[in-house]
A = this chain, B = another copy of it.
Amino acid sequence: MELLKQRIRKDGVVLPGNILKVGGFLNHQIDIGLLNEIGSEFAHRFIGSKVTRIMTVEASGIAIACITAQYFNVPVVFAKKSKTSNLSGDPYVTSVKSYTHNTTYDIVVARDYLQPTDSVLLIDDFLANGCALEGLAALVEQSGATLTGAGIVIEKGFQRGGEGLRARGVRVESLAIIESMDPSTGIVFRD
């Protein structure tokens, strides 16, 4: 998605340790016009696929999931990052490792909001090691719903998450795939 790549080149900041800051438009301050272009592109890529629900994980996936859901006319459900007193019943739960924060946390979805009859599109801002997306896929599997695929805004193609998911048959559509990046020489996108 050329518009997105241009924006990443213009406003993204590459830091040592393979960190790409896109807080200026994607996950701290949010450019809603750009998000609409992103949502429209996901709709285009998944045209003809059955999607009854869009799923993401808090917090930065929520904005993208909600704007995208307008193009599919389906509800959003977002997984919460730990059990809260407000989640009654027996929710779907799985563990996710975070390399960024060097920790492990649970993600949780209430049983009512994922049904065996659902076809679920996962949406997230980043795909790197794939831990968050694998966690979401595990929740879909627990529920018996069908995993239609995953729509990712920025994939770090030099990390292994996308490869692993595609190898086991998950359809992953990433709007910008970074082949390599470096604070001094900048970003190289995969064609």
| Contact between chains at A32 and B77 (CB < 8 Å) | no
> Known contacts A24-B112, A63-B66; is A84 also within 8 Å of B58 by CB?
no
Interface code A81-96, partner B: CB below 8 Å = 1, 0 otherwise? 1001111100000000
- Number of chain A residues whose Cβ lies closer than 8 Å to a Cβ of chain B: 38
CA distance A63 to B85 in the complex (A): 21
- How many copies of the chain does the oligomer comprise? 2
| Contact between chains at A59 and B78 (CB < 8 Å) | yes
| Contact between chains at A76 and B29 (CB < 8 Å) | yes
> Known contacts A19-B86, A78-B59, A84-B101; is A32 also within 8 Å of B110 by CB?
no
A28 adjacent to chain B (CB < 8 Å): yes
| Contact between chains at A23 and B110 (CB < 8 Å) | yes
